[in-house]
Structure 1
Amino acid sequence: MSVVSPARGLGLVLLCALVVTGCGRIKQDRMAESLYAATKGYAESVRWGYFESAVGFVHPDVRADVDFSVLDNVRVTGYEVVQPALIGAQQQAVQVVRIEYVLEDRQRLKQLTQREDWRWDDAQSTWWLHTPLPAFAATP
């Protein structure tokens, strides 16, 4: 029968704690990288008017019937992150953006601020946007 010395036992406990902490940190890093990729991909889709692609970032439960013919009249001229997304305790992130756009038929510059609610999906290992596409005002 072998007996583990107290120092060796403490060393094993510390090693296990480091491994568990390290694995948690790796997951957090992957989630952060994935969030950056999702928010960047969504921003580029909206910025360049690829609204069909932007809808792919929106969670299926939040997607509404989007009238893409109305969006044909919208030309986005700017997409600025006002408050970057930070991962919270509940595997959620909030990002605030300012979007400038022109309604093609009126040629008037408009602006809106939108709060984007991103949530992590463990089953699919991806971030979903739980906010609909921006509500571009059609009035002057």
Structure 2
Amino acid sequence: MELELGLVTLSEKVIIAEIEEALLGYDVFKGRHGEPADILLSSNNILLDRLEIPLFQMGKSNKARRVTVANDMILPGMAKAVVSIFVERFTDDDEDVNSDFIVEPAQQFEDMYALRMATTLVTVNQSPTCSIRILNPFATEVTL
């Protein structure tokens, strides 16, 4: 079966995907003479046929941010709570349109506390503190 779209004829063995932005694998980056491209991530450049092509990062960096409880508290055994937290902020956060972050327990948190924390989406520009949910499934109380 063939499908005709304007001037292009497609057979049923062709897979089509609409891709707006993508970084192709380095195996397809070859110059006019078959020379491979040099991908220089340390300088955010690709060198192809002696031409420097700048790389641009899309989205926010993946830097982890420190999260601390807003107020010291004791979580009784076999209890759950909504806890106010501070998320570390940077100077450019106020100008940034995307201020949404995922707060989830780090390995250090799990090693230090016998608690369960729900992964939570927070917006750091809405208020000074954000809220997360914590569960203490054990009988002993925990101080945060």
TM > 0.5 between the two? no
Structure (1/2) with the larger helix percentage: 1
User: With structure 2 as the length reference, what TM-score do the two structures score?
Assistant: 0.28
User: With structure 1 as the length reference, what TM-score do the two structures score?
Assistant: 0.29
Structure (1/2) with the larger strand percentage: 2
Q: Which has the larger radius of gyration?
A: 2
